[in-house]
Structure 1
Amino acid sequence: MVIDLSRCVGCNSCTLACKVSNGTPPAMFFSHVDIEEQGTYPDAMNIYTPRCACTAPRLPVSRTARPGRPIAMRTASCA
């Protein structure tokens, strides 16, 4: 997915597009939009940065969520 950061207004359409294309269950998202406030009144503004969770560091395969049950990892990317 290609996102023009100069035109991003924080609408989360990219988040929904990623969710639909990856078929994730309800309440599970691979991406989100970070909102950072910069400046002070009256010149304050928001900076929106779309993030893909697939680019986060992966857990080692040996880590377990519950004893005896390994964490399942998806091999698909958010691209």
Structure 2
Amino acid sequence: MKDLDSIINAVDIPGFIKNSIEKWTIEKNTPSFMYLLPDYGYIEPTIGQPFFLVVDKITSTGILIFRETPEWEQFKLDMIYDSE
């Protein structure tokens, strides 16, 4: 798998999020996907918060997925987010 920093930097993360992110915490790690939750300070309220970075370990790509989106349901992220 590609270096995690490279994957995070390659993902199209909105500037107001990227500027506030200090680090990413791995919430769940499966053979196919790694689910990362950002530790952040002050982020402007947006529709769909919270969000995860989902890294596809096969293709070494990542996608930022916001709550209340079809992708959130597709990846069943409520199970990961609500398990905290």
- TM-score over 0.5 for the alignment? no
Q: Which has the larger radius of gyration?
A: 1
Which has more strand, going by share of residues? Answer: 2
TM-score (norm 1): 0.29
